[in-house]
Structure 1
Amino acid sequence: MPDLEPAADGDAERPQDLGDLVHLEARQLSALIRDRRISCVEVMESYLEHIDRHNPRVNAIVSIRPRDELLAEAGERDRQLRDGDRRGWMHGFPHAVKDLAAARGIRHTAGSVIHRDRVADTDDLFVQRIRAAGAIIIGKTNTPEFGLGSQTYNPVFGTTATPYDTDRTAGGSSGGAAAAVALRMLPVADGSDYMGSLRNPAAFCNVYGLRPSIGRVPNRAGFVAQLSAIGPMARSVTDLALLLSTQAGPDPYTPLGPHTPLGLDSDPARSAGRLDRDFRGTKIAYVGDWDGYLAFEPGVLEVVETALGEFEALGARVDRVLPAFDPARLFQLFLRWRWWAQTGNAELYDDPATRDLLKPELRWEIEHGLRLTARDITEAVAERQAWYAAVVDLQRNYDYIIAPSAQVFPFDKTVHWPTMIDGRPMDTYHRWMETVAPWSLSGCPVAGVPAGFGDSGLPTGIQIVGRAGQDLAVLQLAHAYHRRTRWPQRRPPPGLAG
């Protein structure tokens, strides 16, 4: 794997107050460490003090390792630098891994009391890559139980709040990651996304999240193109691209063959390619509420549609246009794929000792999955192919598709999920975030970017959908948008300086 470097304009001066280190973008922090203008120990101390001050407000980082161990590892990183042994662009970075993934020597609970005491003895592949790039794993970021639902609460660690109103949810399932990045408790964060788990919390926390193309970052999908994807979160698109370039790349071979037969065999450095690009003449399709099919909390669409003007200011043309596919069919298709995926937890359901420890939503998913027939799955595969064909047909005339990232603003964190939006009932625990499901099913790359704030002061976001495999093109448009808006820097969380 190449030693990817931050962009040339990522340099920054050593701050007089080391508490300001946490406010630097990851590329700037990397340059300071690389040039030994700041030590890894100073970085770790600054971040740990910042975490001590702010994490209790949001409960984003969990299973934090002992301070003396982390400072000792930071000291070793400094010794490596003195010896000319720089591991990569994340050398000396504090990093917390989403608690759905395994990180060696750290609890791996998946937010479930069933796994409360489980400690990982290996790293997942993307975690290996983050360590190899020089990061120090300080702990985990909080997630819903087994990652289900876009509300980060579980019986092991409790609930994660958005730093924009700590009485409200950070979203999920990468809610801990999003809140930690927004509050400057991590330079960047990893997340995963099945139904918007990188995009919805990015919207609720005013940061960036990228769901890559299928296969860009290897996971455990095997021979089936399931919907889960691993991706980065950050406060700038440059940082997003840098972390993606670390996570991405083909899975190495073992004596039994490749781990991920659907993985993309491409140079991960391409993900951090040149982001500057001219967008004059670019054509964008805006799907909005699908002609009223989707319910939205009042104010959300107004923020999203105001943000469309930023793309027009870049020289793009934005048209209101929809794929030629019934959105009601799409959600039924999503449900079948979700049910099928959750049968992987059937062993826990079969055992009476663990069944009652599962959240009701997971039991509901498994019960429906166990009733699926081979014909149901065959039809679902055909339906997904038909949906992808409709997306490709729209993309023949449009370079990008834009959609809202969320149908509501961040809601009361004591509420498990919204049962009503603008007077319309939500009949499942994930119906309220239906806006993200079509793009998960497409397998296309999708960036979740901040859209701005409603009258209540709460954030929301938009999705930028690109053509299959064209992750860099999505990052380029997101980067151009970020340079105009800079929402994470313009509107940091209240109380951040306190």
Structure 2
Amino acid sequence: MSADPALIRLTAVAVRDKLLSGEVSPLDLIDTLEARIGAVDGAVNALPTLCLDRARDHARRLMERPVAERGLLAGMPVPIKDLVDVAGVRNTRGSPIFADNVPATSDLLVERLEAEGGIVYAKSNTPEFGAGANTFNEVFGRTLNPWNTSRSAAGSSGGAAVALATGMAWLAHGSDLGGSLRNPASFCGIVGLRPSPGRVAATPTPPIDQTLAVEGPMARNVEDLALLLDAMSGEDPRDPISLPRPATPFLEAARSGWKPRRVAFSADLGITPVDPEVADICRAAAARFAEAGVEVVEAHPDFSGLHECFNVLRAASYVAAHRTLYAEKRDLLKPEVVWNIEQGMKLTGEDIARAQGERARLFERALAFFGQYDLILTPATIVAPFPVEIRFVEECGGKRFTNYVEWLAIAYAFTMVASPAISIPAGFTGDGLPVGLQIAAPPRGEARLLAAARVLESILWPRPITPIDPRIGL
């Protein structure tokens, strides 16, 4: 068959079905993506590193097996974020320090995906070390929002989100600490899930038991995302917090038709300003849950103390991961990374102990809240896509933020309480830019979260809104 542009518009689940039936081969999919990348990536810069020869070699080896033995993905191509090692493929981490880095071995996340029939064909662009919710770096430059290429794609999984939105991927890997999956999903009109800590095993980095950063799936719709989460999830002894796969696959759970009885909606969680248009779009989208018989109530947990707690624990994790680089290559690190590390170096044991205690209290209050509400819905980001030249959001609603991550509080609130949280498209601004709705569940509640998100998605979007061709902005 070779390249077939019609495949680009199919869902990942439909393409996987074609692989299982033998109607298409993994090589056909790689050819199709290569043609699509050639046609559109020059306008958005989402996939700066391709490894198509490696992908084709992997596809040929996979095709030597019976179809039933090709894993859950059966030959689906998947781009990997340029923070994660893929054997033999350049991994820059968005930093000039690693501009020529080619790892000899793959992260265990990549090993699992490839064992499940995923084929790595590209690395997606990211800010340096994933720091900052706008995807740009000194190695590859900016990734642009396909809905208006003058706007940011957010980050740090911006390249992955743009590849999905433009049909250069059916599925994509991302990661999330303070919204790095959810922010670009919101800005690009696709779906991104931050799973519970441990749900997706990955090669540990210091601290090895950390629960702030997680790996997760991105896709164009909830079913496709559930398929990728099935392939990503599972226990691995090399990751000390990894969880076993649940008895019921996530794709089956997403299709179950389960609906929450009572959900909460909050435009701001009581902790952040929100652009009024964004708040209105998300409130209207959440209200449509009522069409499925779901009660929607305006309420939120008590997140007092969140900002200081998050800043301390994030800074501590940065100094643990990057202190050697700081000592040896400080002049090559971008200012935001330097700031994070230096904040961590100033911390005392008392600072960290106090933050850990506050996080425990946040967690307890969130669990109590989820005893009253099945889920909570909020905006995924507090603003619509902003001009790409802006490094980060400095002000919203008259409030000037104290640092470059504070504008992400509506996302990192759920990081701090270990909740799985998904961003699905909520609607569009008056000038045609996507806005995402965040839905969060109690810890390890991915199955019900996916089922509920699919119910609401089917109400909001009876027809797909992506992929699109890049829309050149002024």
Category of TM-score, reference length = shorter chain: over 0.9
Q: Structure 2 matches for 1:65-144, cutoff 5 A?
A: 65=51, 67=52, 70-78=55-63, 80=64, 86-144=69-127
How many residues in Structure 1 have an aligned counterpart in Structure 2? 468
Deviation of 1:450 (Å): 1.0
Q: What is the CA distance between 1:484 and its match in structure 2?
A: 1.7
Q: Go from structure 1 to structure 2 and tell me whether the alpha carbon gap of 1:268 and 1:366 turns closer, same or farther (over 3 Å shift).
A: farther
Cα deviation code 1:184-231 (max 9, x no counterpart): 111100100000011010000111111111111123266533300111
Q: C-alpha deviations, 1:45-82, integer Å up to 9, x for none?
A: 111100110111111112112x555445444444x25x
Cα distance in 1 for residues equivalent to 2:150 and 2:370: 40
Please list, as runs of the form range in 1=range in 2, the aligned pairs for 1:186-335 lying within 5 A after superposition.
186-219=169-202, 220=204, 224-251=209-236, 258-267=237-246, 270-277=249-256, 282-291=261-270, 293-326=271-304, 329-335=305-311
Deviation at 1:392, TM superposition (A): 0.7
Query: Which residue in the other structure is 2:48 paired with?
Result: 62
Give the aligned residue type for 1:295.
P
Instruction: Please state if 1:361 is matched with 2:347.
Output: no
Counterpart check, 1:431 vs 2:414: no
Computed over aligned residues only, the root mean square deviation of the Cα atoms, in angstroms, reads 2.1
Q: Which sits farther off after the overlay, 44-53 or 131-140? A: 131-140
CA deviation string 1:276-308 (max 9, x = no partner): 4456661111121235x4222241111111101
Task: Give the AA of the match of 1:249.
Answer: G
Matched, 1:160 2:139: no
Give the Cα separation in 2 of the matches to 1:69 and 1:390.
48
For the 8 Å contact 2:82–2:93, the answer to whether it is kept is yes
- The verdict on how the C-alpha distance between 1:247 and 1:269 changes in structure 2, with shifts beyond 3 A counting, is farther
- Where in structure 1 are there 5+ consecutive unaligned residues? 1-13, 252-257
Cα distance in 2 for residues equivalent to 1:71 and 1:483: 36
Q: Is the 8 A contact 2:200 2:233 kept in 1?
A: yes
**In 2, Cα distance between the equivalents of 1:315 and 1:433?**
31
The structure 2 residue matched to 1:387, chosen from 350, 362, 375, is: 362
Question: What is the alpha-carbon distance in structure 2 between the residues aligned to residue 230 and residue 336 of structure 1?
Answer: 22
**Structure 1 residue 41 displacement after superposition:** 2.4
d(CA) in 1 for partners of 2:445 and 2:163?
Answer: 28
Query: 219-228 or 457-466, which moves further after superposition?
Result: 219-228
Corresponding residue of 1:255: none
User: What CA deviation, in whole Å up to 9, does each residue of 1:143-201 have, x standing for no partner?
Assistant: 01000011000000111111111111111010011110111111100100000011010
Per the TM alignment, residue 40 of structure 1 is displaced from its structure 2 partner at its CA by 2.5
Native 8 Å contact 2:211 2:418 kept in 1 = no
Q: 2:24 aligns with which of 5, 17, 38?
A: 38
Q: Find the aligned partners of 1:191 and 1:205 in 2 and give their Cα distance.
A: 14
User: How far off is 1:475 after superposition?
Assistant: 0.6
Query: Could you tell me the percent identity over the aligned residues?
Result: 34
Aligned equivalents of 2:366, 2:257: Cα separation in 1: 24
Shift of 1:324: 2.9
Displacement of 1:18 after TM fit?
A: 1.8
Please tell me the residue identity of whatever aligns with 1:297. Answer: D
Q: Distance in 2 between matches of 1:472 and 1:274?
A: 5
In the TM superposition, what is the alpha-carbon distance from 1:120 to its structure 2 partner? 1.3
Instruction: Give the match's secondary structure for 1:166.
Output: coil
Deviation per CA, 1:436-468: give whole Å up to 9, x if none: 111000111111111110101001111111111
Give yes or no for contact 2:149–2:470 (8 Å, CA) kept in 1.
Answer: no
**Which residue type is aligned with residue 456 of structure 1?**
D
CA positional deviation for 1:487:
7.5
Alpha-carbon distance in structure 2 between the residues aligned to 1:270 and 1:100: 28
Structure 2: distance between partners of 1:142 and 1:335: 25
Judge conservation of contact 1:95–1:137 (CA < 8 Å) in 2.
Answer: yes
Q: Equivalents in 2 of 1:341, 1:494: separation in Å?
A: 38
C-alpha contact (below 8 Å) 2:40/2:166 kept by paired residues: yes
What TM-score do you get using the length of structure 2 for normalisation? 0.94
Which residue identity lines up with residue 32 of structure 1 in the other structure? K
Cα deviation for residue 387 of structure 1 reads: 0.2
Q: In 1, Cα distance between the equivalents of 2:470 and 2:345?
A: 47
Closer, same or farther in 2 for the Cα pair 1:281/1:483, shift >3 Å? closer
Secondary structure of 2:111 counterpart? helix
Match of 2:433 in 1: 458
Amino acid paired to 2:241: L
Q: For 1:385, give the aligned amino acid.
A: A
What's the offset of the Cα at 1:325? 3.7
SS in structure 1 at match of 2:464: helix
Moved more, 386-395 or 87-96: 87-96
Q: CA, structure 1 residues 29+325, in 2 after alignment: closer, same or farther (shift >3 Å)?
A: closer
Residues 394-414 of structure 1, C-alpha deviation per residue, up to 9 Å, x if partnerless?
111111111111011111111
Match of 1:20, as an amino acid?
A
- Correspondences of 1:16-31 after superposition (within 5 Å): 18-31=4-17
Match of 2:380 in 1: 405
Runs of 4+ in structure 1 over 6 Å off: none
